[in-house]
A and B are shown apart, each in its own frame.
Chain A
Amino acid sequence: MTPRFKPGDRVRVRADSPPGHIRTPKYVQGKTGEVAGIHGAFRNPETLAYGRDGLPKQFLYVVRFDERDLWQQYRGSPRDTLLVDVYEHWLDPA
């Protein structure tokens, strides 16, 4: 099992709201960021939540966004970033 993305890759978070338990916040959906790191593979909490085994495991990435790309009105420094943990099945190459 190898990760689909590597640090530095540009990725877009899928914009999707399937019914049920999801672990990808709405505010990064549809946004483009950069893979900052790979945390490893974990059982999928979106199926674990329903008493299933969470397999196959999903790679979990930490994805970096410029705050200004997330919020048009961002008031801080242009260097400020937001890092969020996103599972592989939520990411597409950008």
Chain B
Amino acid sequence: MHDDHHDDPHAPLAHDHPQTEFEKRVDAVQALLIEKGIITPDDVRRAVEEMDSRSPALGAKVIARAWVDPAFKGRLLANAKRAIAELGIEFTQEAALFAVENTEKVHHVVVCTLCSCYPRGLLGYPPDWYKSLNYRSRVVVDPRGVLKEFGLELDANVEVRVLDSTADMRYLVIPPRPAGTERMDEEELASLVTRDSMIGVARARTPALQ
């Protein structure tokens, strides 16, 4: 193997933007916490690594199990943290977790109007739009209009329930199982469950036509 990558042209390494006041403050607080022995750099690294390991695939696994196993769905609706632990998923957030079910008659959509509360332990980082002032301020006032912008038009006879997650409870939406999936196994079903369907701004994918 020859070592030729030193010749690759690339821009000089540099910060891609000047540090903001918030970044400076975070760095200063982190440096103080380390200096005082309250946390170590390895604690910070492990916390970042743990957070980065979470993704909507975890939530999709939970939903697929709920679709194939009604008893599991019952336990998920009754005590979500305990139910996901059955699948080996530890919800490490201190907050509690609550599952709600979307049906033909009731549609839940989740928001945090105060900040960006989100079931990160199950879905990973929230999408940028979830944190945007636009979504947070409008979905509570006009949920049907906002859902329509996401491409989801709900019948007038569907009851819309907006869940404002302001405190210590995180919400997971169980989307309805799409039609035409009767023969699919759990893994195939999980591939139909999108992040957005677990927030309530979309339906699960429908299977590709054979």
In the complex formed, the residue of A with least CB distance to B168 is: A42
Contact B96 A40 (CB under 8 A): yes
Q: Which of A48-94 contact B (CB under 8 A)?
A: 60, 62, 67, 70-71, 74-77, 79-87
A contact residues, total (Cβ < 8 Å) = 26
Smallest CB–CB gap between A77 and chain B, Å?
6
Q: Which residues from A are CB-within-8-Å of B157?
A: 77
The chain B residues found within 8 Å of chain A, CB to CB, are: 96, 98, 113-114, 140-145, 156-169
A74-B141, A74-B142, A77-B144 known; 16 new pairs, CB 8 Å cut-off, are A24-B166, A27-B140, A39-B167, A39-B168, A39-B169, A71-B141, A75-B142, A76-B142, A80-B159, A80-B161, A81-B161, A82-B161, A83-B162, A85-B165, A85-B168, A86-B167
A85 in contact with B142 given A77-B157, A77-B160 (CB within 8 Å)? no
Docked pose: A76 CA to B162 CA in angstroms: 12
Q: Which chain A residues border B114 with CB–CB below 8 Å?
A: 23, 25
Q: Is the CB of B169 within 8 A of A80?
A: no
13 contacts between A and B (CB under 8 A): A25-B114, A25-B164, A27-B113, A39-B168, A42-B167, A60-B167, A60-B169, A62-B169, A67-B160, A77-B158, A81-B159, A83-B161, A85-B166
Whether A30 is near chain B, meaning CB under 8 Å from some CB there, is no
Given the known interface contacts A25-B113, A40-B96, the answer about A85 and B156 at a Cβ–Cβ threshold of 8 Å is no
A23 with B166: CB separation less than 8 A: yes
Residues of chain B within 8 A (CB-CB) of A27 are 113, 140
Residues from 6 to 44 in A contacting B, C-beta threshold 8 Å: 23-25, 27, 39-40, 42
Bound CA–CA A67/B166 (angstroms): 17
With contact pairs A23-B114, A27-B113, A71-B141 given, residues A39 and B96 touching in the complex (Cβ less than 8 Å): yes
Within the complex, the shortest CB–CB distance from A5 to chain B, in Å, comes to 15
In whole angstroms, what is the CA distance A24 to B165 when docked? 10
Complex Cα–Cα for A90 and B20 (A): 35
Q: Is the CB of A77 within 8 A of B167?
A: no
Tell me if B167 and A80 are in contact (CB < 8 A).
Answer: no
Contacts of A23 in B (CB 8 A): 114, 166-167
Give Cα A87–Cα B114 distance, bound, in whole angstroms.
Answer: 14
Q: In the complex, are the beta carbons of A81 and B162 less than 8 A apart? A: yes
